[in-house]
């Protein structure tokens, strides 16, 4: 499997932390040199290992925000 290149462009906040020290975070992440997207996933304390997660475009984040307000 090919290496995945990533850069956390903006750390927005921690949603939770598990008993092993991994944190579920909302960040803006650039994957494989593409424009950054909003990203929710768990990270190890050094941000070297990660779980599966979800990425959202700016439009999807706005839609989610409006859905949560209702």
Q: For the chain, what is the mean pLDDT?
A: 95
Query: In CATH, what is the architecture of 6-69?
Result: Roll (2.30)
pTM for the structure as a whole: 0.89
Asked if pLDDT for residue 43 goes beyond 90, the answer is yes
Q: State how far the Cα of 66 lies from the Cα of 31, in Å rounded to an integer.
A: 26
Supply the pLDDT for residue 1: 58
Ramachandran angles phi, psi of 2, nearest 5°:
-70, 150
Q: How confident is the model at residue 47 (pLDDT cuts 50, 70, 90)?
A: very high
Query: What is the average pLDDT across 53-65?
Result: 97
């Amino acid at each position: 499997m090919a290496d995945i290149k990533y850069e956390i462009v903006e750390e927005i906040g921690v949603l939770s932390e598990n008993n092993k020290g991994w944190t579920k975070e909302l960040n803006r992440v650039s994957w494989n040199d593409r424009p950054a997207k909003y990203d929710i996933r768990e990270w190890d304390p050094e941000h070297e290992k990660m779980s599966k997660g979800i990425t959202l475009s700016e439009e999807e984040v706005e839609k989610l925000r409006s859905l949560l307000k209702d």
